[in-house]
């Protein structure tokens, strides 16, 4: 009897652990989804002329662009900086890379299992649009994709044409989040 109750306790503990882990996962995906709603409000204020509007008071990032893929019904708000903290909430614009309209490479990255899961579906010829806070709309056409090592940043950024590079981790369905490969989708100014 004593043994049975011990097993039961263990089972309950495992259940709690399971729910907690499951909750963590749910939290990650909910956060990714809900944050975009808050960022949308900040973006609207940015569009009305405000500068670096933080979507919530303790945020250390702000929306810098809106990324849409009309054919895939994708509509995302891009945040300043591509640090791990930022990427939990939305795609991040790598600081140091170009902004739309500037010569050079615009580099935007997001998680492969949330905001940028759709990268896998992009085909050459697809149109990706970027809107700047001032309202200007830049259209880019996907020309190709490649898989590179994470250390290839310098080579990715060294181009001088007007280019948009979307980055996410590869392979798309790996369980382990720390892999060394990256999937780059390259689009040229249309």
Partner 1 sequence: MTSRKQAAVAGNPILGIRVLLDFLALAAKGVAAGIMTCVVLAALVLLFSGVAGAASFAPGDYIQLKDVETGSLLIKAEREGLYRRMPLLKTDVETRVSGIVARTRVKQQFSNPTGERLEAIYVFPLPENAAVDHLKLHVGERVIEGQIKERESARRTYERARSEGRKATLMEQERANIFTNSVANIGPGETVIVEMEYQQTLRYDQGSFRLRFPMVVGPRYIPGDNVVAGVAGSGWAPNTNVVSDAARITPPVLRPEAGPINPVTLRVELDSGFPLATLSSTHHRVSIAPGSRSTKMITLNDGAVPADRDFELVWTPAAERVPRTVLFTEKRENRTYALLMVMPPQRVEPAERRIPREVVFIIDTSGSMAGQSIEQAREALLLALDRLTPEDRFNIIEFNSVTTTLFRQARAADGQSLDRARAFVRRLKAQGGTEMAAALNAALNNSDDANVLRQVIFLTDGAVGNEDQLFRIIHDRLGDSRLFTIGIGSAPNGYFMTKAAQFGHGTFTYIGNPGEVKLKMSELFWKLENPLLSDIQVEWPAGAAAEMWPQRIPDLYLGQPVLVSAAFEGNVDRVIVSGRRGGESWRAVLPVDRGEVRPGVGALWARHKIAALMDRLRSGANQDEIRSAVIAVALEHHLVSKYTSLVAVDVTPGARLDGPLQTAAVPTNLPHGWQYDAVFGQLPQTATTGPLHAIFGLVAIMLAALLWCLRARAPGFVRFPGSGR
51 contacts partner 1 (rule: CB under 8 A): no
Options 44, 56, 75, 96; binder of partner 1; rule CB under 8 A: 96
Q: Cβ of residue 108: shortest distance to partner 1, in angstroms?
A: 10
CB of 10 or CB of 56, closer to partner 1:
10
Q: Which residue has the tokens 């973006």?
A: 43
Tell me how far apart the alpha carbons of residues 116 and 98 are, in angstroms, rounded to a whole number: 20
**Site residues for partner 1, window 72-91 (CB under 8 A)?**
82-84, 87-88
18 contacts partner 1 (rule: CB under 8 A): yes
127 contacts partner 1 (rule: CB under 8 A): no
Options 79, 145, 164, 187; binder of partner 1; rule CB under 8 A: 145
- Dmax over CA atoms of the chain, in Å, equals 75
Say whether 71 sits in a helix, a strand or coil: helix
155 alpha-carbon distance from chain centroid:
21
Options 34, 50, 52, 181; binder of partner 1; rule CB under 8 A: 181
Q: Let me know: does 89 contact 79? Beta carbons within 8 Å.
A: yes
121 contacts partner 1 (rule: CB under 8 A): yes
Radius of gyration of the chain measured on its C-alpha atoms: 20
Q: Cβ of residue 39: shortest distance to partner 1, in angstroms?
A: 17
Q: Cβ of residue 87: shortest distance to partner 1, in angstroms?
A: 6
Options 106, 164, 169, 187; binder of partner 1; rule CB under 8 A: 169
H-only helix segments in 48-183: 84-87, 153-157
Peptide bond between residue 184 and the one before it cis (omega within 30 degrees of 0): no
């Amino acid at each position: 009897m004593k043994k049975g109750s011990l097993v039961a306790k263990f089972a309950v503990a495992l259940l709690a652990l399971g729910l907690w882990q499951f909750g963590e996962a749910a939290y990650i995906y909910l956060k990714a989804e809900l944050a975009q709603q808050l960022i949308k409000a900040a973006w609207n204020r940015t569009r009305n002329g405000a500068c670096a509007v933080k979507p919530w008071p303790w945020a250390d990032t702000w929306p810098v662009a809106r990324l849409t893929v009309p054919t895939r019904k994708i509509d995302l708000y891009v945040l300043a900086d591509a640090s791990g903290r930022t990427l939990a909430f939305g795609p991040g614009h790598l600081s140091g890379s170009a902004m739309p309209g500037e010569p050079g490479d615009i580099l935007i990255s997001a998680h492969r299992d949330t905001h940028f899961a759709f990268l896998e579906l992009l085909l050459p010829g697809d149109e990706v649009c970027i809107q700047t806070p001032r309202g200007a709309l830049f259209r880019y056409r996907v020309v190709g994709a490649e898989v590179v090592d994470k250390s290839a940043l310098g080579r990715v950024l060294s181009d001088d044409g007007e280019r948009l590079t979307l980055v996410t981790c590869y392979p798309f369905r790996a369980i382990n989040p720390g892999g060394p490969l990256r999937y780059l989708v390259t689009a040229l100014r249309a």
